Amino acid sequence: MSIRLGIIGGGAAGLFAACQLKRLKEGSDIEVTVIDRNPVPGKKLILTGHGRCNITNRKDASVLKKCYHEAEKFIYPALKEFGPEDTMAFVENELGLKLKEEENNRIFPVCDSAVRVRDAVVCYITDTTEILRETKVTNIRKADDFEVITDKGTCHFDQVILSCGGNSFTHTGSSGDSYKFAKRLGHTVNPVKAALAPVRADESSASLCQRLSGVSLNTRVSVFSEDKKISSFEGDTLFADFGLTGPAPMEISREIPSDVTGKKVCLELDLVPSMSDEAFDSELQELIGAHSDTKIVTLLSRYVPSSVASEIAHLADSADMYAQGFPKDRRKKICRLMKHLHIGIDRAPDLEKAYVTRGGVSLNEVDRKTMESKIVPGLYIIGEALDIDGISGGYNLQACMGEAYLAAKEIIKRSLS
Ligand SMILES: Cc1cc2nc3c(=O)[nH]c(=O)nc-3n(C[C@H](O)[C@H](O)[C@H](O)COP(=O)(O)OP(=O)(O)OC[C@H]3O[C@@H](n4cnc5c(N)ncnc54)[C@H](O)[C@@H]3O)c2cc1C
């Protein structure tokens, strides 16, 4: 059976789907059209991995799935059927880009260029795919077939892959249209918010963050709302002029409540995550006893960068104090600050600055084995349009790859039946 397939959105997910259709389509008759609003598709793809494209993460699917939070169960078939090893084989053998593995199993192209990954993907599909560039889709309607209305006219397709992405870094083209179209087609869209985003400090903590701007250290970061711990994550934290960024705050940002108005919300930093409160207190007590002629700030510098040590000593009113005769209540105060440093938050992380959008099309309404909508037959939904956000480290592009594979496989199966 001949199929006219429209891929709405030529970002990572849409382009990967076009690649899989080319790779798998032998013997089938599928006319593939990718529609993207930008002159060149894959505009967000070229920003990935700080311009180097962290394309996947070499872990087994059973471990990998845990990195997708609430979507763990949903994403498993995609990771199992087209996992990191498949992604790597595809990029190396089909796209012709050699890959390398870095810290924490993160996979990058040897050329360190996301632009080259994007270009290789676009080049790979040119002979099998029509790309409608600078074409903005304004609506998708389902009647006998799919009517895709654009600013340049209407296209008709038998099947559609919806891959317009999330709602962040909107200059790349991902401005939440996936959600608008999915809603109009009858889908439930779960509320969207920032994930993997920097965190802005409130006025009470802003000056501390400013003074420490540029300093990075390993911490355990916990989100607290109304004194209740919501979640925590250990990793590097980077102080910035506006607040906190780096792996740990960004990873935890998805847990910050959307509405913080009138609430007591903060990020708590444990600056010595390898020790319990008691162990740290008793070690500090020993150090104080053994180094009476040493300044407290010098002792703290054994655990944290000296600029952080002086801020802590200052906050505990101990800036110029020596270990000799150091009062117990000050030591306790220092321990509290080192283990429970609070950075106040008075607004939710900015969605525009989020690397990924949390929320999106409800996973209950999509078949996890085929990516087909359970509401609209012939509609497939992949990528950030779905309510899936992975942690940082190549997981989000890997999700796009796996989902693209499942959708392509199903579309081809249908065309052959
Ligand atoms: C700065 C940054 C760095 C990142 N680094 C990594 C990384 O290293 N590894 C990783 O795994 N993930 C990374 N991510 C996340 C990853 O880029 C996304 O998860 C992924 O791009 C999502 O793919 P998508 O196709 O669903 O959406 P997108 O890539 O956003 O693509 C959506 C496409 O749809 C098009 N579109 C939208 N609306 C319309 C419309 N109405 N009409 C026509 N076209 C439309 C857009 O132009 C866009 O091209 C990063 C994200 C950012 C912002």
- The per-residue pLDDT for range 334-354, each reduced to its tens digit, is 999 999 999 999 999 999 999
* Atom 30, ligand 1: residue with shortest CA distance: 165
Based on the fold, state whether residues 170 and 206 are members of the same structural domain.
Answer: no
* CA 406 – CA 403 distance, rounded (Å): 5
Residue nearest ligand 1's atom 45 by CA: 9
Q: Which atom of ligand 1 is nearest to the CA of 9?
A: 34
Q: Whose CA is nearest to atom 9 of ligand 1?
A: 394
Atom in ligand 1 nearest the alpha carbon of residue 178: 38
Same domain, 296 and 373: no
Residue that is last in its domain, among 319, 349, 379: 349
For residues 411 and 194, the answer to whether their CB atoms sit within 8 Å is no
CATH (domain of 142):
3.50.50.60
Clarify whether residues 256 and 149 are in a common domain. Answer: no
How far does the centroid of ligand 1 lie from the alpha carbon of residue 11, in Å? 5
pLDDT, tens digit, 9 for 90 and up, residues 62-84: 999 999 999 999 999 999 999 99
Write down the H helix ranges in 212-344: 247-252, 277-290, 296-300, 306-315, 328-339
- CA angle (216, 218, 221) in 5-degree steps: 105
Residue nearest to atom 24 of ligand 1 (CA): 165
Residue 88 shares a structural domain with residue 150 = yes
Ligand 1-lining residues (CB < 6 angstroms) = 9-14, 35-38, 41, 43-45, 47-49, 53-54, 136-137, 163-165, 169, 172-174, 177, 355-356, 383-384, 394-397, 400
Do 305 and 365 fall within a single domain? no
Give the CA angle between residues 380, 95, 17 to the nearest 5°.
Answer: 5
Contact status, residue 299 vs residue 287, Cβ threshold 8 Å? yes
Rounded-to-10 torsion of CA 210, 212, 216, 220? -90
The rounded mean pLDDT for the chain is 97
- Mutation test of ligand 1: which of 174, 361, 380, 391 has the most ligand atoms closer than 8 Å to its C-beta? 174
| 127 shares a domain with 111 | yes
Question: Last residue of some domain: 294, 328, 349?
Answer: 349
Q: What is the pLDDT of residue 28?
A: 84
Quickly count: other Cβ atoms within 10 Å of residue 94's Cβ: 14
DSSP notation for 214-242: T-EEEEEEEEEETTEEEEEEEEEEEEETT
Mutate to test the pocket of ligand 1, among 160, 397, 401 (most ligand atoms within 8 A of CB): 397
In terms of DSSP bridges, do strands 129-132 and 29-35 run parallel, antiparallel, or are they unpaired?
parallel
Q: How many CB atoms are located within 10 Å of the residue 410 CB?
A: 17
What gap in Å lies between CA 122 and CA 10, rounded to an integer?
10
pTM for the model stands at 0.96
Averaged over 372-377, what is the pLDDT?
98
Q: Is the pLDDT of residue 332 over 90?
A: yes
As separate numbers, helices (DSSP H) first and strands (DSSP E) second, the chain gives: 14, 19
Q: Which of ligand 1's atoms lies nearest the C-alpha of 48?
A: 5
Domains held by the chain: number = 2
Are 130 and 75 within one domain? yes
Give the CA distances from residue 408 to residues 278, 375, 379, 386, in Å, rounded to whole numbers and listed in that order: 55, 19, 12, 17
Q: What are phi and psi for residue 264, nearest 5 degrees?
A: -95, 100
Short-list 367, 325, 400, 395, CA closest to 9: 400
The answer on 209 and 188 residing in a single domain is no
Among 349, 382, 397, the domain boundary falls at: 349
How does pLDDT run across 292-324, given as a tens digit for each residue?
Answer: 999 999 999 999 999 999 999 999 999 999 999
331 and 359 belong to one structural domain: no
Domain span at residue 69?
A: 2-194+353-416
Residue nearest atom 6 in ligand 1 by C-alpha distance:
48
Q: What is the spatial distance between Cα 65 and Cα 358, in angstroms, rounded to a whole number?
A: 16
pLDDT at 1 over 80: no
CATH code at 302?
2.40.30.10
Q: How far is the CA of 344 from the centre of ligand 1 (A)?
A: 31
What percent of the chain has a predicted confidence (pLDDT) above 90?
97
408 SS3 class: helix
Residues 341, 217 share a domain: yes
Burial class of residue 297 in the structure, from the number of CB atoms within 10 Å of its CB (0-12 exposed, 13-18 middle, 19+ buried): buried
pLDDT tens column, 4-24: 999 999 999 999 999 999 999
Round to whole Å and give the CA distance between 74 and 115: 30
- 163 & 208 share domain: no
Please tell me whether residues 176 and 227 are part of one structural domain.
Answer: no
Residue among 2, 3, 17 at smallest CA distance from 131: 17
